[in-house]
Structure formats: structure tokens, C-alpha cells
């Protein structure tokens, strides 16, 4: 979302126009480490949102009563029942770990996605008020962790390792390894098994690796596109002629984006549960 029209250059971009404005807002706060560049803004905001979500859920759990619940408790119970229902439909094994995992993913991703509804120039305005215009112009802060491919792939890689864990838990190391070389093309003779071992292994690896890639790229692509559209709408605020139409366009896209925020969190959660359920199936 956008705060206000610029002076022809767009927010803090000075006189650089919309291109500089977008480039500035798409630049991460990068810290150099021994392992390479590190996006400090995505990591910090994701961590704070995760702690905030955990704190809110914990406070409601502590205040939960068996009588008539308050509004916040009722809302939390609706979310928990909704997530548990989705897990129950997709995962038919022991849900003691899967249901809390799904709830954590859904709530955390919703919180991270919702940062896209914060006005684009609000962080810069706060930095300007505290440190001055020059400091603000050279300070980069991406507010949407899920619009960073590093964040979404970190989540999806974690799911990938859980898929491997549940596959080995259900089938054993030997059964999991055997399935990699004997499915989906089954053969009876020894020679046929040897011939089909490599194609089976290749197809199984493609299937395994495509799961984290699809999870990470789907969430990243939708949130990055939503963030970019907000920035493009900002160009309409740079002129008083297009300022009024921009208000309605920005409001409409913001309302529609709320659906995207919730939908993408739901899809990520459901696919995670489905992938873990598939990991326990024997071929």
C-alpha cells in the first residue's frame, strides 16, 4: 500500500522517478557473512512475526475458559478447528505433530504475508523521523519476508526434510531406498529391475525435489507480484491528476490482496500436509 503522492519522483526516490522508487523498495538490507550475503530484513521481520504469533496464541491458550469464550478466544478456536479439519481430511495417521505444524505454518505465513498491507513508505517515514532523510534514502527494508525467495525456500526446504523423515519413518531406510529404485515402474525379473532402476530413481528424485520448489516458488511468486503491483500503483500517486483514481485502485487491490494473503497461507499449509501424507504411502 502507498501513503501519499510524491513530488514527481516518488517518495524518497528524490527525482529518480518510479524506476528508482521501485528499485529502492525491492532492495534488501544485505549483510555480508562468511557464508555469503544475508538478507537481514527478511530474517528479522520473519523472526519477530513468528514470536508475535506464538505469543498471541500462548496468551489465548492461557486465558482459555470452558465457559462462553471471548471474541479473541472464539476466533482462535475457529482457526484451530479449521486447520485441524483440513489436517484430518488429508492426513490419516497420527496428527499429534502434523496438526500443530500445520497451524504454525498457516498462522506464521499469514502474519508474514500481511506485512504487504503496510504502506510502502511508512518504514521510510519512521526512519526519516528518527535518523534523517539522507540515512533513510540509503536504508533498505523489505517488509514482506515471503516476497523474498530465501524465506519461502527456507520454509519449503524444512518441509522437504520432514517429507524424507516421514518416508523413512513409515517405510524404514531400506524400504525408502528400495522404493526409489523400484517405483513407479515395477518389474518382476532381475534384469528388468536393473534396467528400470535408473529411470525410477530419476523420476522419484524429480518428484521429491519438485515439492519444495513448487511450495517455495508459488508463495514467493504471488507475494512478490502483489508487492510489485502496489509499487506500480504508487506511480499513479506521483501526479495530482491520477491521485484520486489511484486511491480507488489501491483500495481495490488492497482488498483483493487480503484474499491472496489468506489463500497463499492456506495453500502452503494444505500442500505441506498432503506431501507428508503422501510420504507415508507405499508404492
pLDDT single digits (tens) 166-183 = 999 989 999 999 999 988
In the prediction, which pLDDT does 3 show? 42
Cα dist from 114 to 9, 165, 217, 246, whole Å: 27, 31, 18, 21
**Candidate list 88, 218, 239, 250, residue with the active-site label:** 218
In the prediction, which pLDDT does 54 show? 94
| Predicted confidence (pLDDT) at residue 235 exceeds the cutoff of 60 | yes
Q: Which of 216 and 37 is assigned the larger pLDDT?
A: 216
DSSP-assigned beta bridge partners for residue 37: 32
Please, what's the largest Cα pairwise distance for the chain?
A: 77
Q: Provide the percentage of residues in the chain whose pLDDT is more than 90.
A: 52
Active site residue 222: yes
Is 85 contained in some domain? yes
Rounded to whole angstroms, the Cα distance separating 169 from 280 reads 8
Confidence of residue 32 (pLDDT cuts 50, 70, 90): confident
For the chain, what is the domain count?
A: 1
Is 166 contained in some domain? yes
pLDDT single digits (tens) 115-165 = 999 887 787 777 777 665 555 555 678 899 999 999 999 999 999 999 999
Is 4 contained in some domain? no
Active site residue 124: no
In the prediction, which pLDDT does 17 show? 76
**Candidate list 13, 214, 239, 250, residue with the active-site label:** 214
Is 86 contained in some domain? yes
DSSP-assigned beta bridge partners for residue 39: 30
Identify the domain containing residue 267 by its residue range. 11-279
pLDDT averaged over every residue in the chain: 86
Active site residue 218: yes
Is 6 contained in some domain? no
pTM to 2 decimal places: 0.85
Q: 116 and 229 in contact (C-beta within 8 Å)? A: no
Is 2 contained in some domain? no
Rounded to whole angstroms, the Cα distance separating 4 from 12 reads 11
Scored b (16 or more CB within 10 A) or e, 7-40 reads eeebbbbbeeebebbbebbeebeeeeeeeeeebb
pLDDT single digits (tens) 91-125 = 988 889 999 999 999 999 999 999 999 887 787 77
In the prediction, which pLDDT does 15 show? 47
Is 1 contained in some domain? no
**Candidate list 13, 42, 124, 222, residue with the active-site label:** 222
Is 253 contained in some domain? yes
pLDDT single digits (tens) 35-79 = 888 899 999 999 999 999 999 999 988 888 877 778 888 899 999
Amino acid at each position: 500500500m502507498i501513503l501519499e503522492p510524491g513530488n514527481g519522483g516518488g517518495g524518497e526516490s528524490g527525482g529518480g522517478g518510479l524506476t528508482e522508487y521501485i528499485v529502492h523498495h525491492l532492495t534488501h538490507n544485505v549483510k555480508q557473512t562468511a557464508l555469503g550475503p544475508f538478507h537481514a530484513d527478511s530474517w528479522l521481520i520473519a523472526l519477530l512475526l513468528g514470536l508475535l504469533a506464538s505469543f498471541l496464541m500462548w496468551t489465548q491458550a492461557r486465558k482459555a475458559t470452558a465457559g462462553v469464550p471471548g471474541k479473541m478466544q472464539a476466533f482462535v478456536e475457529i482457526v484451530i478447528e479449521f486447520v485441524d479439519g483440513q489436517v484430518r481430511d488429508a492426513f490419516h495417521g497420527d496428527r499429534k505433530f502434523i496438526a500443530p505444524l500445520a497451524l504454525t505454518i498457516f498462522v506464521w505465513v499469514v502474519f508474514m504475508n500481511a506485512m504487504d498491507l503496510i504502506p510502502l513508505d511508512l518504514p521510510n517515514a519512521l526512519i526519516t523521523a528518527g535518523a534523517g532523510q539522507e540515512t533513510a534514502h540509503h536504508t533498505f527494508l523489505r517488509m514482506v519476508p515471503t516476497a523474498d525467495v530465501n524465506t519461502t525456500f527456507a520454509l519449503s526446504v524444512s518441509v522437504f526434510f520432514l517429507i524424507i523423515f516421514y518416508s523413512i519413518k513409515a517405510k524404514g531406510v531400506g524400504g525408502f531406498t528400495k522404493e526409489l529404485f523400484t517405483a513407479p515402474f515395477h518389474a518382476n525379473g532381475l534384469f528388468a529391475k536393473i534396467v528400470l532402476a535408473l529411470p525410477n530413481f530419476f523420476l522419484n528424485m524429480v518428484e521429491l525435489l519438485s515439492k519444495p520448489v513448487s511450495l517455495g516458488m508459488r508463495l514467493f511468486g504471488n507475494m512478490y507480484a502483489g508487492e510489485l503491483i502496489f509499487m506500480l500503483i504508487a506511480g499513479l500517486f506521483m501526479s495530482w491528476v491520477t491521485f484520486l483514481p489511484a486511491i480507488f485502485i489501491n483500495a481495490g487491490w488492497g482488498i483483493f490482496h487480503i484474499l491472496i494473503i489468506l489463500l497463499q497461507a492456506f495453500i502452503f499449509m494444505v500442500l505441506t500436509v498432503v506431501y507428508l501424507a503422501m510420504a507415508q504411502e507405499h508404492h
